[in-house]
Structure 1
Amino acid sequence: MSRLLLALAAPCLCAVSLPGVAQAPTPTPPAPAATPATPAAPAAPAAAPAPAATGNKLDRVEVSSGPTANSRRRNSTASKIVIEREDLEKYGDVVLGDVLRRLPGVTLGGRPGRGGDIRMRGMGGGATQILIDEERPPPGFAVEDLPPDQIERIEIYRAPTAATGTRAIAGTINIVLREPLQKSNHEVRVGLGWDRNEPQADASWTRNLKWGGPNNDEFVGAISTNGAVRRFFNNVDSGNRRTDTQTGEVVEQNTQLGTSENQNTSLNGNARLRWKYSDTLSFNLTPSFFLSQSDGSSQFNSEGTRFRDVHTQNDARNHHLRLNMSADYRPQLGESFNLRLGTGTTKNTRRSDRRDTQTLAGVTTDRAQQDRSTVEEDQTSLGGRWSLKTAQEHQWVTGAEAERSQRTQVVDTLVNGAPLPGLARFGNLLASRNERFAAFTQDEWSPSKQWAFYAGLRYERIATTAAAAGMLPETRNVSQVTSPLFHILWKPAAFPKDQVRLALTRSYRAPNLNDLVARPTINTTYPDGPNYQTHADRAGNPALKPELATGADLSLEHWLPTGGIISGSAFLRDIKNLIRSDVQLETVSWDSAQRWVSRPRNLGRAQRMGMEFEFKARMDELWEDAPAELQMMLLRFNAAVFKNRVQGLPGNSNRIDQQPRGSLNFGLDHRWKAWGLSFGSGFNVNYVPASREQVTETLRRDQTARHQFDAYLSWSSGSVRDGINWRLSMANLLPRDAEDSSVGTSINSVTQREYLTESWSRNKTFRVISLRADMRF
């Protein structure tokens, strides 16, 4: 028996299967209203259709309105994954990072259960391009902390395109903000939770607007706000040891043991407003804001160092305001012009006060260190694009983008009320300007139902200028990259459920401002005198060049009858001018002793490769005679393996910065009914294996495996329209400590003796439980 999915161009998308018949997809009118749509909540299975004369039985008919995540993914020439509202809401996640880590090849930094920076295919350090409505957020904006309540869907591109940009060696994550709901005026969500018995609370409200015109759609919009208060507890458990390799004698050992507490408060919101001026012209307005405040303290005892009884107080304030405006003009069917203008301002302030007791040369004194940082940035962008769809199945898109930002940063470090003498030449004021221009063109061509081709070309120029108030010369860095891009999609006629994708691309990573500016950050454990590889200072490198990557991506997809998928993909990135943090012993201007300093440097070439596998299917797709209560059960599994080689580093651990060996996710989702209520439940197991990174020939970093087990239970009370949907979420149910460590060797230039330096940090993780309720009315 063969099944056939008919893709509709009409507002309804209907998948129909006929026994023993193979047909090409053809447009089909919308199904009548009496045809049941695929339910969002579990329903009793439909009665089996009457058997055909040949003994075959008809497959289930699936109907869903509008484009779905599967259709967006399946019909895209470029390889991508789409996550829609249902998946965003399923686990009751509070921040975006927790949603993404369940996807193939996506990992997070930070402690398990607490989120962190987003990394695709194991690549950190800016290799993943993050977009919000196809625009890059300003520096310092924590995208991973964005609440899922304000997101409509997430699009993940495994290979770059000309329109989305080529600053995406690992890939691109495009976050699309909420669209207006058509059937509800209000949507309210409230959540309460506990993180190691520390309280968590959040609430959100969305107001949908629709009025004016003969069809009541002249003005359409949605306004969303979200507020949250969260408290966190962390342990402090770190130390280092220095050993004479010839005698085995431990010549120095110190540990820091204590606790830290932090409270984060945030308020953010956005609006999407559309005015339909005519049938050919519409205007869009998208204002947004993000406000956050963090206050914390820590206290720990240090043994084996010159510091005792360390107490710190820190606070941070982030303010981000943004306004995007656009106009869409469609003079004829298949042709459109889009003009976008955006402006925004960001202000971040950081304050840290540290008090300790210092014993130096037998003299004990009280010591106070104050660090202050204020960053203000104004950003303006302008872009336009023209799109034309021809009768020959070509989809042309051509456009240009320009962006300008000005940034002012004030940094002060005082010890006992006086500035550090070594930092005087760097000044405390840094003014920078960033200008970006890009132009691109691309064409998608579908000469037949089996083939689709994509060709694109993008040119991008980024100029960064920075001037410090001290004695340093002005820093200027210019990078220009031209990127050709090719994608191919093949749907074999003999295998209508299969697809093969191939992409050949060029992408790059431009150095950011912090990588370029030479002003150092001094290690607090060894603030003066000699330090160690494992406790290096950090400084920038004004001579950095952009990292260039030539990439190849190959993927195979097999689609199951009701939307399940089995796919495998492989990728290769050949990288030139690799940017990597390199630790070297330097004669520095900020101390009389030589210091180990970590700077980003271009270290030649590297090869990055990996494989990803994804499986997602309902039980009735795998088991034709599955019991009724199991038919809607969804099984999910994905795994990724990463490997790379860095030129010039020894051994098998010469990995790119922060790169894990792979990732694995396994989960199950089930819908069922009991006691007159509709329930949903599921779990997910996330595993990132231990990794080892050879930073230099004499320095190695290790990270233990990360495990996380999540589960949820959801149910509905009341009517479908006015009821309350409840969700109990349990993250990191089986917490395990995470440990990072470093091992380095060095030779004393005076005694010529070799020393082994080891450092470690043990981070506890905690169980997180939350209860959320959402209502639509």
Structure 2
Amino acid sequence: MSRHLPALAALCASALCTAQTPPATPDPKPAAPVANIPAAAASGAGNRLERVEVSSGPTANSRRRNSTASKIVIEREDLEKYGDVALGDVLRRLPGVTLGGRPGRGGDIRMRGMGGGATQILVDDERPPPGFAVEDLPPDQIERIEIYRAPTAATGARAIAGTINIILREPLQKSNHEVRMGVGWDRNEPQADASWTRNLKWGGPNGDEFVGAVSTNGAIRRFYNNVDSGNRTTDTETGQVIAQNSQIGTSESQNKSLNGNARLRWKYSDTLTFNLSPSFFLSQNEGSSQYNSEGTLFRDVHTENEAKNHNLRLNLSADYRPKVGESFTVRLGSGTSKNTRNSDRLDKTNTRPDRTQVDRNSVEEDQTSLSGRWSLKTAQEHQWVTGAEAERSERTQMVDTRVDGIPLPGLVRFGNTLVSRNQRFAAYTQDEWSPSKQWSLYAGLRYERIETTVDAAGELPEARNVSQVTSPLLHLLWKPEAFPKDQVRLSLTRSYRSPNLNDLIARPTINNTYPSGTPNEQTHADRAGNPDLKPELATGVDLSVEHWLPTGGIISGSAFLRDIKNLMRGEVQLETVSWDSVQRWVSRPRNMGTARRMGLEFEFKARMDELWEDAPAELQMMLLRFNAAVYKNQVKGIPGNSNRIDQQPRGSFNFGIDHRWKAWGLNFGSGFNANYVPATREQVTATLRRDITARRQFDAYLSWSSGAVRDGINWRLTMANLLPRDAESSSVGISPKSETQRESLTESWSRNKTFRVMSLRADMRF
């Protein structure tokens, strides 16, 4: 029995990590290395082996194992497996990644449960331009995703939670065209999307002087949502209900999008290469909502909304390699974006004339960036990288709000046009050194300065905010000689989160539930900015242990700690405001002192033949996946056990199985994934608390291929959010006693229905 204990312990621990996923369907790209093909891979025909292709390029496993900094790599086969149409749905199956929004529809991306700028998101190693919605980027246009748990000097230190680097598609050499089409249903509302990629290659003696790929994607989607919210105020001394209201109704929307990008490379010589990368993103969203209201001034509310967004970007780069191991890279980028949002609202009241409110909002922004990098790999196993980055943007925002055709008196004094400028400069150097096969050391230093200026507008004075941060970074990788399949990583870093422009601008936004002239509740606060915000500073420690299984499976555990100074957080206070004649509850971002955040993350991913030597041939390629994360944090100065970082959950959980088999002459793949995020309670201030119910989501897919391996059609049927559950949130706030008002308790709630989402996708290459 004792000789089996190590194997049993490894199997139990395997409930905790990540490994290379075999393709769900045949892929024209080279498959896994020969070492990953089990002896029993041949099915049915005696000892006849299937045709195997060998790739010499780096795999997701090799990229992860050879990186001194802790990271996870997701390749195309994992991106394609579930047929996701939203990037967030791909990422939420990974350890420590959660989403906002309703289950089944993607949402804003958060590492370790932290949003609001704590997670740095890059596209091709650069921060995306303003107005670009990264979560809406179609997975079809992505080559791979790299997730860094701790910052590096080259990727940037604005990454308290970590960095997600999205690498766009590289040109394929074995097919000229890639076509993907999909149809779907979200609560019986139709969804459709299509994409096309044209791979290019010509010129030169080897036919590779010019290489490129041009991709475009279009989609039309309709969504239905319910409206179910309410608010109740109670006298805490007598228990009498002072006021109560509710809103019940529906909303519908339609989204149209068209986006594309190109990656063109000109090999001018053996040492000089030029790259051109244009991209565009266009979207239009139209929607309406109608609901009945009880207990407020309004009986029936009807709104019509329209939003348009366009984003154009052009990147140029040159890569010069004068000798082996040395390179110089220069990048120049320029882009422009425009976002418009219009809303028309009609309120029907019981005793007063109908009320109309029209909101017009547009934001235009131009951005230019320039960066340079020098890299040198020496014979002493040093990899030096030094670079600098400069960026400048100018933004013009126009806002107009009219009630019954007349501008709101309280907002007129702030003007309708606000102009702001942002300038950023960064310089960094780093060295990655491998003195032996067992040790790798990374040391880096990054300096970054961000200056934001806002022109005077009406009563808003001219404002200037400057953030300067110097970040030392250290990563250590140890591969014990006695345990060649194990690795230990340690990171000591300093990272930060800078204020975004919307947090700095002080122009107020009035809550529509309680318009001007009506006292609002702290659960329905107005919003205003704070031009004096300072950046958050985080000192971090990351430790991870990895054990690699024979054919690429992995068992891993990691722990992290972040001590944060100048924590930025929205704080709700009762204020005497200039935009109304009565006192209003206002939410402003403020620096609230210090906080501590810590957590544990576990990963497991392995094929059945790695865990069970005598597994039947039909089960050997079955892939088991599991990851879990637990978080604990504390905001100092806020009482109670729920003084958590903004919206951070207590943890996350994923479990899945993927399998491949053959039947009727076809190659099949199938799998399912269960995702769970526990309920969260957050003490926002000493008098305000928020609760969010648990998030549960079950997904499944079935894929199959028809036709030849190279020229056939790959089909994928996906079912997301198979067991829909309502998503609920609530707030409880205590209004303190004053000279004119007794102490009261305010409760608000919102119930959002979620729906089963199904899609059928087909892709082909020829």
Partner in structure 1 of residue 25 of structure 2: none
Amino acid at match of 2:744: Y
Deviations 1:156-195 (A, max 9, x none): 0000000000000000001000001111100000000000
* 1:116 matched to 2:107: yes
| Alignment match, 2:242 | 251
CA–CA distance in structure 2, aligned partners of residues 333 and 115 of structure 1: 43
Instruction: Tell me the residue number matched to 1:10.
Output: none
Query: Which residue does 2:537 correspond to in 1?
Result: 548
* CA offset digits 1:183-234 (Å, max 9, x no partner): 1100000000000000000000000001111111100001100000000000
Measured after TM superposition, the shift of residue 140 of structure 1 is 2.4
| Maintained 8 Å contact 1:37/1:63 | no
Secondary structure at the aligned position of 2:762 is classed as strand
2:473 is aligned with 1:485: yes
Say whether residues 1:203 and 2:191 are aligned partners. no
**Residues 36 and 551, structure 2, Cα contact 8 Å, conserved in 1:** no
- SS of the counterpart of 1:364? coil
**SS of residue matched to 2:73:** strand
Aligned-partner SS, 2:411: helix
User: Secondary structure at 1:220's aligned position in 2?
Assistant: strand
1:237-272 CA-partner distances (Å, limit 9, x unpaired): 000000111111111110000000000000000000
Distance 1:704 1:531 in 2: 25
Matched residue type, 2:690: R
Alpha-carbon distance between aligned partners in 1 of 2:37 and 2:214, rounded to the nearest angstrom: 27
SS for the counterpart of 1:130 is: strand
The normalised TM-score by structure 1 is: 0.93
**Partner of residue 680 from structure 1, selected from 669, 673, 688:** 669
Q: Matches of 2:450 and 2:232 in 1, distance apart?
A: 44
Tell me the secondary structure at the aligned position of residue 261 of structure 1.
strand
Question: Which one has more relative contact order, counting CA pairs under 8 Å at least 6 apart?
Answer: 2
In the alignment, which residue of structure 2 is the partner of 1:604?
A: 593
Q: Decide which of 136, 141, 150 is 1:159's aligned counterpart.
A: 150
Q: Percent identity?
A: 83
1:464 equivalent in alignment to 2:462:
no
SS at match of 1:135: coil
Gapped regions of structure 2 (runs ≥ 5) = 8-19, 21-29
Partner of 1:294: 285
> Equivalent residue of 1:229, what SS?
strand
CA–CA distance in 1 between the matches of 2:46 and 2:320?
Answer: 49
2:325 aligned residue: 334
Following superposition, the deviation at residue 46 of structure 1 comes to 11
SS of the residue corresponding to residue 97 of structure 1 reads helix
Alpha-carbon shift at residue 592 of structure 1 (Å): 1.0
Give the match for residue 655 of structure 2. Answer: 666
Asked whether the equivalents of residues 543 and 559 of structure 2 are also in contact (C-alpha less than 8 Å), the reply is: yes
Aligned pair 1:403/2:398, yes or no? no
Supply the distance in 2 between the matched residues of 1:518 and 1:509 (Cα, whole angstroms).
Answer: 19
CA distance in 1, matches of 2:683, 2:62: 43
Q: After the TM superposition, which of the residue ranges 363-372 and 721-730 deviates more from structure 2?
A: 363-372
> Given that residues 131 and 338 in structure 2 are in contact (C-alpha distance below 8 angstroms), is that contact kept between their aligned partners in structure 1?
no
Q: What is aligned with 2:95?
A: 104
Residues 20-419 of structure 1 mapped to structure 2, 5 A cutoff: 44=42, 63-359=54-350, 363-419=351-407
* Structure 1 Cα separation of the partners of residues 99 and 519 of structure 2: 34
C-alpha spacing 1:196/1:742, structure 2 compared with 1 (3 Å): same
How far apart are residue 39 of structure 1 and its match?
A: 7.4
SS of the residue corresponding to residue 365 of structure 1 reads coil
Q: Is the 8 A contact 2:317 2:332 kept in 1?
A: yes
Residue aligning to 1:704:
693
1:45, CA displacement in angstroms? Answer: 5.7
- Range with greater deviation from structure 2 (470-479 or 198-207): 470-479
**Which amino acid is 1:188 matched to?**
V
Measured in 2, the distance between the counterparts of 1:714 and 1:548 equals 46
Q: Aligned equivalents of 1:592 and 1:99: distance in 2? A: 49
| 1:139 shift after superposition | 2.5
Please give the alpha-carbon distance, in whole angstroms, between the structure 2 residues aligned to 1:165 and 1:318.
Answer: 27
TM-score, scaled to structure 2 = 0.94
Q: Matches of 1:748 and 1:39 in 2, distance apart?
A: 72
Contact residue 426 and residue 468 of structure 1 kept, 8 A = no
Q: Shift in Å at residue 124 of structure 1?
A: 1.3
Checking the alignment, whether the CA contact within 8 Å between 2:647 and 2:680 is kept in structure 1 is no
Contact 2:460 2:507 survives alignment (8 Å): no
More off after superposition, 192-201 vs 524-533: 524-533
Query: When the two structures are aligned, how many residues end up with a matched partner?
Result: 735
Does the 8 Å contact 1:557/1:567 carry over to 2? Answer: yes
Q: What pairs with 1:603-752 in structure 2 (closer than 5 Å)?
A: 603-751=592-740
Please say if residues 120 and 164 of structure 2, whose CA atoms lie closer than 8 Å, have aligned partners that are also in contact: yes
Closer, same or farther: CA 300–184 of 1 in aligned 2, 3 Å: same
Contact 1:37 1:62 in 2 (8 A): no
How far, CA to CA, are the matches of 1:721 and 1:376 in structure 2? 45
After TM superposition, what 4+ stretches of structure 1 lie above 6 angstroms from structure 2?
46-49
Q: Which amino acid aligns with 1:44?
A: A
Of 448, 452, 464, which residue of structure 2 is paired with 1:476? 464
**Structure 2: distance between partners of 1:36 and 1:175:** 28
Change (3 A) 1:113 1:657: same
Give the 3-state SS of the residue equivalent to 1:215 in structure 2.
coil
